């Protein structure tokens, strides 16, 4: 039986996802609606994940609070966090209205504590796992009936890429067409078990904060790049279809080529922005050359690179060429093995 001092609590984890078809550009910044659909691969939670505990109690101080890696965050100045929490509270209110015997959790202050098992500033999409875990933890605390797909609409408002971290495996974020964003949702294209041989190697080229934050960078690209409109209108839609087919057919060479081309296309629109935006550096370009060299030497496409809004590389390959790809990267680009390996095969390599 709940009393005045009861603390209600739920804990959850959320994975990091790495896009192979990139989200870059918003058609509505306040609702966080993208100009194009995107698709990502979910990384193993044994390697990279955010662990979040959400609790609420009448004995807590009146304001909601959020602690990230031990540091209190100012959520009152984060419109995105406030939007997520307000959406979740509304859903809980509906649950409470339907069953008057339930405790009125929606009226209690929230305390959210979140920890990453990887460096937050390492450019490894921490906001995606972070907002996904926050939404999932509060949804669990509130015992909401909504599916991950429905919750992805809320996580999207925290950070666009977060909507793809509520599911496992291969996840598409459908841009949607409606002005209110109600059809801008994530959906699982295939579970990880569909293609269990997939591996990802992460090259942490720099753990420093990115030069141009994503939100600002994508707004500059939308406003100034002449390449961007074509990318959003025709290049990405064709690639979404093609990569979903490649995933369905477990066709690695097709998956790899589309992945590499889309990363290059995204970085080309960054370079084409005014002023230009550079996320890749000399080590990133060395990784690109090495992937092409390996593929040429083998005589078929066995590995692929992709880069987000920073210089770190994610290299995809299948387990059968694990030693060749990871071994060659280690031998040529040096670095130390971070020791993060999960069932999905991720390793973290630090290139210095
Ligand atoms: C992606 N990125 O699809 C792309 C590729 C970076 C490059 O999603 O403004 O942090 O919070 O919605 O999600 C990074 O953008 O941007 C991102 P917001 P987010 O993964």
Q: Where are the domains of the chain?
A: 7-194, 198-350
Fold of the domain built from segment(s) 198-350: Alpha-Beta Plaits (3.30.70)
* pLDDT tens profile 1-59: 678 899 999 999 999 999 999 999 999 999 999 999 999 999 888 778 999 999 999 99
| Residues contacting 66, CB < 8 A, separation 6+ | 72, 73, 75, 81, 112, 113, 114, 134
Q: Give the residue-averaged pLDDT of 226-254.
A: 98
Q: Can you tell me which atom of ligand 1 is nearest the CA of 22? A: 3
For ligand 1, atom 9: residue with the closest CA: 215
N-to-C CA span, the chain: 56
Residue 315 and residue 195 in contact, taking contact as beta carbons nearer than 8 Å: no
Q: Which of 120, 114, 129 is nearest to 159 (CA)?
A: 129
Q: In sequence order, what are the beta bridge partners of 247?
A: none
> Measured in whole angstroms, how far is the alpha carbon of residue 347 from the centre of its chain?
18
pLDDT in tens, 85-138: 999 999 999 999 999 999 999 999 999 999 988 765 556 666 899 999 999 999
Nearest CA-CA partner of 236 in 271, 268, 262: 262
Residue (of 269, 175, 268) closest to 223 by Cα position:
269
Do residues 56 and 141 touch, judged by C-beta distance below 8 A? yes
**Probe target for ligand 1 pocket from 32, 154, 160, 278, with the most ligand atoms within 8 Å of CB:** 160
Ligand 1 atom nearest to CA at 32: 12
Span 7-194: which CATH code? 3.30.230.10
Which pTM does this prediction carry?
A: 0.94
- Taking alpha carbons only, the member of 142, 112, 145 closest to residue 14 is 112
Q: Which of 272, 244, 279, 269 is nearest to 258 (CA)?
A: 244
Q: Are strands 110-116 and 49-57 parallel, antiparallel or unpaired?
A: antiparallel
- Cα gap 306→259, rounded to integer Å: 7
Distance 34 CA to ligand 1 centre (A): 10
Please write the tens of the pLDDT for every residue from 134-153.
Answer: 999 999 999 999 999 999 99
Count CB-CB contacts under 10 A for residue 241. Answer: 11
Say if residue 306's pLDDT is above 70.
yes
């Amino acid at each position: 039986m709940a009393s005045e001092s009861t603390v209600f609590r739920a804990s959850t984890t959320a994975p990091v996802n790495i896009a192979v078809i990139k989200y870059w550009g918003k058609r509505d910044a306040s609702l966080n609606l993208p100009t194009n659909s995107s698709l990502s691969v979910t990384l193993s939670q044994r390697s990279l994940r955010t662990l979040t505990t959400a609790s609420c109690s009448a004995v807590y101080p009146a304001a909601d609070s959020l602690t990230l890696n031990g540091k209190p965050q100012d959520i009152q100045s984060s419109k995105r966090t406030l939007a997520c929490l307000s959406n979740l509270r509304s859903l809980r209110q509906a649950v409470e209205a339907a069953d008057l015997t339930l405790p009125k959790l929606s009226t209690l202050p929230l305390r959210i504590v979140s920890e990453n098992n990887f460096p937050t500033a390492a450019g490894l999409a921490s906001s995606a796992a972070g907002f996904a875990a926050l939404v999932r933890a509060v949804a669990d605390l509130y015992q909401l009936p909504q599916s991950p797909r429905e919750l992805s609409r809320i996580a999207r408002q925290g950070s666009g890429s977060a909507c793809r971290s509520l599911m496992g495996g291969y996840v598409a974020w459908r841009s949607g067409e409606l002005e209110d964003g109600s059809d801008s949702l994530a959906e699982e294209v295939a579970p990880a078990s569909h293609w269990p041989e997939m591996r990802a190697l992460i090259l942490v080229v720099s753990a420093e904060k990115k030069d141009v934050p994503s939100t600002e960078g994508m707004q500059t690209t939308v406003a100034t790049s002449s390449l961007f409109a074509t990318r959003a209108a025709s290049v990405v839609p064709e690639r979404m279809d093609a990569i979903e087919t490649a995933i369905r057919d477990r066709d690695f060479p097709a998956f790899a080529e589309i992945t590499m081309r889309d990363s290059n296309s995204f970085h080309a629109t960054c370079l084409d922005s005014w002023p230009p935006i550079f996320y890749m550096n000399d080590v990133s370009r060395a990784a690109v050359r090495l992937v092409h060299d390996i593929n040429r030497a083998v005589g078929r496409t066995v590995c692929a690179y992709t880069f987000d809004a920073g210089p770190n590389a994610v290299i995809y390959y299948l387990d059968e060429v694990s030693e060749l790809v990871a071994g060659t990267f280690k031998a040529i680009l040096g670095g130390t093995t971070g020791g993060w390996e999960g069932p999905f095969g991720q390793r973290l390599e630090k290139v210095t």
